[in-house]
């Protein structure tokens, strides 16, 4: 080949960009690191940290409780004034219950797992005893047609069925954990007995008082425990069928419950205003718009919406804080439920798994039933929104249950070590701050005083 041709070929070869070859397709470029992928990776890494569930449960539950106190005050002051009571009457009672619930949360958070298991049987016996007392004339009292209250004197009253939920979670978790240790859960009779009979005793005592809403939540807890225990599909379907049949009979034989069922999706109060509460709950949500009418500016709480601070507080939240406020509440409950599922899924202790799953089922099922009723998607069951609605009897056991979840989250793999490291680092930082403060004070003194 002539020298000039070779030189021209070398020049053309040098002009080919890096990464390209003559006669072949360009080499594939590595995928670009997109921002949403980096964000997803960071979120995944943050969620996998040992203390994530601990902080999510603690933070979301505290935010729900504080926002609930604000909304209880806003939603209840008109009703308090109509009863010739101070405007802050219901708020003060709820605040006292929140303080007591906070103490219970700290106690449950610090109690060892063995003590929780030992506490299960006395709590179950005490709950059954109190629910029996509710049916004794002169001791039990009826509120809104439900015989499920015991007056403690003055303005204080107790609803024992709320503590029955916590008792079923602790006792059922301990029972299933003991049977799993003995490898008895592979037999259907050991899975059902005595868990299902005891749960049916609690349900019977609750239904004697006519409280269908609490019975639904207790049934959800029972199914949650059976699901976590690995109940086979046919067994699970059998128990579900029996519960559905009993529920159908109880609803069919009660005109009040049939009326509530007929109000699903209602847009008109109907004859005799039987759907008044459901319809005005929708009105409250619809009038809130995206950002609401402003805190305290609700119209429906002026006598139009019954129970604005208990069963229908979510409707007042939608009216005053708008779609932004209701979505925030939903996001907090979703975070709390997801963190509870993580705690139940990561533990090696069967009691912790059953108890965490039972508490998560309880809180999420009750939130779904309450919010679904306000949205007109479910019948009005008369259950409060957990940690949010007014009611000390519901708040106290729920906050104890949150303390259980926090205690279990502290026992996650690596969580205890991470907490110890943070405590040590915090202690060293405080010691360094004190030492620097002392040095500055000594330097600031006159030379004769040193």
Q: In this structure, are strands 156-158 and 140-143 parallel, antiparallel, or unpaired?
A: unpaired
Q: Contact, 316 vs 305, CB < 8 A?
A: yes
Answer yes or no: is 234 within a domain: yes
**How many whole angstroms separate alpha carbon 218 and alpha carbon 212?**
10
In the structure encoding, which two tokens stand for residue 269, read together? 């109060």
CB atoms within 10 A of CB 149: 21
- How far apart, in whole angstroms, are the C-alpha atoms of residue 238 and residue 114? 33
Most confident among 36-40, 68-72, 204-208, 432-436 (mean pLDDT): 68-72
- The residue-averaged pLDDT of 169-178 equals 96
Q: Please give the pLDDT value at position 241.
A: 85
DSSP character for 243? H
- What is the number of alpha carbons within 13 Å of residue 366 lying toward its C-beta? 26
> Is position 187 within any domain?
yes
User: What's the pLDDT tens digit per position in 266-297?
Assistant: 888 888 788 899 999 999 999 999 999 999 99
Q: Which residues contact 195 (CB under 8 A, 6 or more apart)?
A: 172, 175, 176, 222, 225, 226
Q: How many domains does the chain have?
A: 1
Rounded mean pLDDT of 3-22?
50
Spatial contact of 72 and 97, defined as CB atoms under 8 Å apart: no
As beta bridge partners, residue 156 has 153
Which pLDDT band, with edges at 50, 70 and 90, does 19 fall under? very low
Range of the domain at 85: 51-410
- Find out whether 390 and 94 touch, Cβ atoms under 8 Å: yes
Q: Which two tokens stand for residue 234?
A: 């046919």
Q: Taking the C-alpha atoms of 408, 409, 415 and 417 in order, what is their torsion angle to the nearest 10 degrees?
A: -40
Residue 380 lies in a domain: yes
Is pLDDT at 42 greater than 60 in this prediction? yes
Highest mean pLDDT among 28-32, 40-44, 185-189, 290-294: 290-294
Q: Residues 439-448: contacts with CB within 8 Å, 24+ apart?
A: none
Is 193 within the bounds of a domain?
yes
Whether 169 maps to a domain, the answer reads yes
Q: What is the pLDDT of residue 16?
A: 47
164 belongs to a structural domain = yes
Per-residue pLDDT tens digits for 98-153:
999 999 999 999 999 999 999 999 999 999 999 999 988 888 888 777 788 888 77
34 or 213: which carries more pLDDT confidence? 213
Query: Which tokens is 206 given?
Result: 């609750």
What is the average pLDDT score of the chain?
A: 85
Output the pTM of the full model.
Answer: 0.85
Reading the block at residue 158, the tokens are 């107790």
Cα dihedral 159/160/163/164 (nearest 10): -130
Return the SS3 of 147. Answer: strand
The least confident of 340-344, 393-397, 410-414, 438-442 is 438-442
Predicted confidence at residue 51, as pLDDT, reads 84
CB 301, CB 75: distance < 8 Å: yes
DSSP sequence for 307-368: STTTTTHHHHHHHHHHHHHHHHHHHHHHHHHHHHHHHHHH-S-HHHHHHHHHHHHHHHHHHH
* Residue 33 pLDDT: 57
Residue at 140 is within a domain: yes
Q: How far apart are CA 424 and CA 431, in angstroms?
A: 11
pLDDT tens string 301-347: 998 888 899 999 999 999 999 999 999 999 999 999 999 999 999 88
Quick one: which of 316, 333, 373 has its CA closest to 76? Answer: 316
User: Is 158 a domain residue?
Assistant: yes
Kindly tell me if the per-residue pLDDT of 11 is higher than 50: no
Euclidean distance between CA atoms 263 and 269, whole angstroms? 8
């Amino acid at each position: 080949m002539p020298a000039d041709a070779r030189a021209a070929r070398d020049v053309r070869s040098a002009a080919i960009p890096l990464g390209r070859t003559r006669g072949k397709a360009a080499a594939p470029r590595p995928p670009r690191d997109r921002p949403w992928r980096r964000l997803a990776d960071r979120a995944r890494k943050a969620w996998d940290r040992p203390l994530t569930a601990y902080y999510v449960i603690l933070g979301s539950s505290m935010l729900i409780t504080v926002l609930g106190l604000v909304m209880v005050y806003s939603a209840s002051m008109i009703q308090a004034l109509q009863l010739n009571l101070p405007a802050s009457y219901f708020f003060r009672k709820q605040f006292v219950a929140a303080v007591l619930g906070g103490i219970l949360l700290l106690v449950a958070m610090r109690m060892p797992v063995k003590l929780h298991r030992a506490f299960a049987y006395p709590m179950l016996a005490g709950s059954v005893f109190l629910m029996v007392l509710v049916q004794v004339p002169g001791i039990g009292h009826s509120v809104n047609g439900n015989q499920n209250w015991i007056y403690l004197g003055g303005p204080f009253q107790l609803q024992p069925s709320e503590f029955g939920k916590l008792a079923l979670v602790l006792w059922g978790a301990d029972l299933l954990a003991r049977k799993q240790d003995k490898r008895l859960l592979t037999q259907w009779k050991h899975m059902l007995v005595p868990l299902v009979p005891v749960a049916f005793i609690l349900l019977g005592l609750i239904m004697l008082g006519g409280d269908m809403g609490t019975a639904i939540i207790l049934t959800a807890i029972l199914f949650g425990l059976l699901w976590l225990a690995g109940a086979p599909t046919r067994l699970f379907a059998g128990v579900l069928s029996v519960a559905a049949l009993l529920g159908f009979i109880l609803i069919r034989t009660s005109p009040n419950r049939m009326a509530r069922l007929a109000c699903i999706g209602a847009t008109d109060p109907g004859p005799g205003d039987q759907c008044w509460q459901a319809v005005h709950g929708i009105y409250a949500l619809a009038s809130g718009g995206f950002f609401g009418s402003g805190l305290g500016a609700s119209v429906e709480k002026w006598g139009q919406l019954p129970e604005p601070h208990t069963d229908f507080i979510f409707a007042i939240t939608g009216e005053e804080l708008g779609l932004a406020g209701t979505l925030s509440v939903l996001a907090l409950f979703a975070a709390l439920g997801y963190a509870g599922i993580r705690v139940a899924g990561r533990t090696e202790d069967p009691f912790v798994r059953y108890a965490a799953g039972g508490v998560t089922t309880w809180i999420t099922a009750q939130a779904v039933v309450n919010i679904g009723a306000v949205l007109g998607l479910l019948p009005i069951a008369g259950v409060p929104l957990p940690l949010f609605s007014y009611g000390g009897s519901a708040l106290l056991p729920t906050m104890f249950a949150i303390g259980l979840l926090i205690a279990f989250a502290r026992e996650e793999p690596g969580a205890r070590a991470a907490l110890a490291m943070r405590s040590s680092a915090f202690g060293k930082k405080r010691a360094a701050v004190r030492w620097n403060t002392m040095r500055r004070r000594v330097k600031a003194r006159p030379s004769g005083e040193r």
